[in-house]
Structure 1
């Protein structure tokens, strides 16, 4: 029996990290493992529960075939550890925090993956990005435009999950979606 890969994507500020943290126990109770990404950023950086490494360490892991998937975005390198293949083979569902730009390659590697796009209304997303204070207004506007273009380009193979309301509501919708998808696929 093989598990399924759940590929969560969404723009910065959509709440992916908050969703993963809030849903962690409920997902584990359903036999779903969350893969911890490897990222080339400071160990002190706020945000996701990632394994921070240097560019040199990342390159060595990549060279040693330590990643099932890896990509570059926004000046950083991201990797999903190879252990996910073992988990999938053991029948576990595995949720990864993926990249929208890497979706095509991820689907090539894992044709049966369930793509989830975490969305949030543009006004709420703009507000969250402004509150973070990491980018200029022009950079935020460019992010919002890229996000809208990506959503328009979807072919129906990706499920939208709105995170504009409370986090508890989004967790509930995620769990319902995964339970429903399991029933449909099974």
Structure 2
């Protein structure tokens, strides 16, 4: 999880190979607009197709954010039954519902210093300055808490070198996979 511009897609892509070696599947989200999936290995569908898939039970999780629909394919349930780990790019606002369905999930919040995030969003050119400031304000709301319910949110700072963040993610997953994890 993390704000738009935090580098979630870059981190996921950079970690894909090492995660595969660790028996971890990286999920392709279903999104209702192609512009949002630029840089992400996502499946683009129309709103009508998204609704059809949701009504057919094709999603394990689905939510709306920033005027778009997002879905996580239900095949993750099979991967989990097979003993695989699963990494998804999900919404901070949907975490409570995700925890209800998957009580053992490990929430990881990708954080970025405000000045770095502002620069990334400006460089991307998708939002107006006012929209960028609104995103920065929303980001502050989500970084204020360290827990949701009884679950601690793990944080990774992606303000610097991506390779360092990948190494930190892999270390976090290794520690969390140990039998006596907290």
Shorter-chain TM-score above 0.5:
yes
One of 130, 136, 139 as aligned partner of 1:147? 139
* Deviation larger for 50-59 or 149-158: 149-158
5+ long unaligned stretches in structure 1: 1-8
1:170 paired residue number? 165
- Residue 107 of structure 2 aligns to a residue whose secondary structure is strand
- Residue 102 of structure 1 aligns to a residue whose secondary structure is helix
- Residue 109 of structure 2 aligns to a residue whose secondary structure is strand
2:117 matches 1:125: yes
Higher RCO structure (Cα 8 Å, ≥6 apart): 1
Q: 1:169 to 1:84 in 2, by over 3 A?
A: same
TM-score by length of 2: 0.94
- Residue 20 of structure 2 aligns to a residue whose secondary structure is helix
Q: 1:81 to 1:136 in 2, by over 3 A?
A: same
5+ long unaligned stretches in structure 2: none
| In 2, Cα distance between equivalents of 1:112 and 1:160 | 17
Q: 1:44: how far off?
A: 9.2
TM-score by length of 1: 0.92
| In 2, Cα distance between equivalents of 1:164 and 1:74 | 23
After superposition, residues 1-186 of structure 1 pair within 5 angstroms as: 9-42=1-34, 46-155=38-147, 157-183=152-178, 184-185=180-181
Structure 1 residues 32-76: Cα deviation after superposition (integer angstroms, max 9, x where no partner): 000110000137952211000011110110000000000011111
**Contact 1:43-1:52 at 8 Å conserved across structures:** no
Q: 1:136: how far off?
A: 1.1
**Contact 2:31-2:37 at 8 Å conserved across structures:** no
